[in-house]
Chain A
Amino acid sequence: MINRWLKEITDIAGVEGVLLVSDNGHIIEKIGTQLDQGTLEQIARRILRIITAHNLDEKSVKEIELICYNYRILAMSAKTFTIITFCGSIRALSLLRITVNVVVGHLIEDKKSMKQIGKYTGQPEIVLEKEYLDQLEIKLISKLQ
């Protein structure tokens, strides 16, 4: 079921791949991307670090977008999971946003999907643990606490 919903996103022209990530950075599902597992895990962890750091400051992030000229990464976050989309040159950006939003909504409403996601959720603060951080990250995160 999760795979079917994520496919709705990858069907949009320009989308190169999509990840479903749990709140602690675990990759639950991936479609389409050519990047290796290690790189994807690092990307997921860094995006989750932004989201979890915002939560520390009681600012819930709904959406993050990284724009590198003709390449974008769009991350949309729900409480226990985040959908990360990798896009090349994309014309229908609004369509992509709406579709990802709809997929987030469907996943939240679908009990089977949430049960599957639930197997991997918990301890989101793990992405902020010192052993995974460099000096600058430690310094910046200490200012939030």
Chain B
Amino acid sequence: MALVGNLRDLKLPNLIQLNCMERNSAKLTIEHAGKYGMIYFHEGQVVHAEFDPDIGEKALFRLLGLPEGKFKVENGVRAPMSTISTHWNNLLLEGLHQLDTMHASGEGKDRRLLEMFMSVKGVRRAAIITREGEIKKGDFQDDKEFALQALSFYEAEKISGLLKKEKSQFITLVTQSKRIILTEYDKDIIYLDIEAKYQLETILPFIEQVLI
């Protein structure tokens, strides 16, 4: 019978430790914001991890950063491949060290936020841009696009002012090739590029969840 629960109640490092100390061979599936991550154990060692688009240690470290998510442990499931050879003890130490370093710096806060957006199913790219259209944090550069979306955000703010409403919570734009969500973050703007096949209505609740 599978063990199921939520990472809010049982933290992932404890879950990994438990499976390794019990010398389990199992598959651990984690569902967070509509996206799935997997960690495979073989005779008490972590041998493989996946969290779209990453595999191996990078995927595992990203999974360690998830604050919550439903999990399921299925015993006796074999890994489809082996991408991790580091001892589980060292893996956990390295993963937790990376998280601590990220939390300690302001930059880490932004990075972690973007990681969380990237873990939402359907989010293709995420960035934090300034109101002047410059990139503040993100893994891609598109000066024209950022200027364009900073302008869109600015116009939307002005419209909210004209309507005497609260500031716009979200601005969504659908172009021929893209779906974009913009939202305020401190004094900056969060820019999310959404895969065309996803409805913005289905993504927005997950985005709100990350922002909370």
Contacts and interface: CB of A to CB of B under 8 A. Distances in A.
A59 B172 contact: no
A137 B169 contact: no
A54 B148 CA distance: 7
Interface stretch (B4-12, B79-87, B158-166): B158-166
B151 A59 contact: no
Given A67-B172, A68-B165, A59 B148 contact: yes
Given A42-B162, A46-B159, A69-B166, A62 B171 contact: no
B133 interface: yes
A71 B163 contact: yes
A143 B174 CA distance: 21
A106 to B, nearest CB: 20
Interface stretch (B29-37, B58-66, B99-107, B175-183): B175-183
Given A63-B174, A66-B160, A93-B201, A144 B155 contact: no
A136 interface: yes
Contacts, number: 108
Interface residues of B, number: 36
A47 B174 contact: no
Contacts of A143: 133, 143-144, 147
B156 interface: yes
A35 B177 CA distance: 34
A57 B168 contact: no
Interface of A: 35, 39, 42-43, 46-47, 49-50, 53-54, 57, 59-69, 71, 73, 93-94, 136-137, 139-141, 143-144
Given A53-B148, A140-B132, A43 B177 contact: no
B143 A43 contact: no
Interface in B113-153: 131-133, 143-145, 147-148, 150-152
A50 B151 contact: yes
A64 B162 CA distance: 17
Contacts of B165: 68, 71
A43 B158 CA distance: 8
A115 to B, nearest CB: 27
B174 A66 contact: no
A24 B147 CA distance: 21
B21 interface: no
B173 interface: yes
A137 B157 CA distance: 13
Interface in B171-212: 171-178, 200-201, 204
Contacts of B163: 35, 39, 43, 68, 71, 73
A43 B152 CA distance: 13
Given A42-B162, A46-B158, A140 B175 contact: no
B109 interface: no
Nearest to A86: B163
A67 to B, nearest CB: 4
A59 B175 contact: yes
Given A49-B151, A68-B169, A73-B163, 14 more contacts: A46-B159, A46-B162, A50-B151, A53-B152, A54-B152, A54-B173, A54-B175, A57-B144, A61-B174, A66-B168, A68-B167, A69-B169, A137-B151, A140-B133
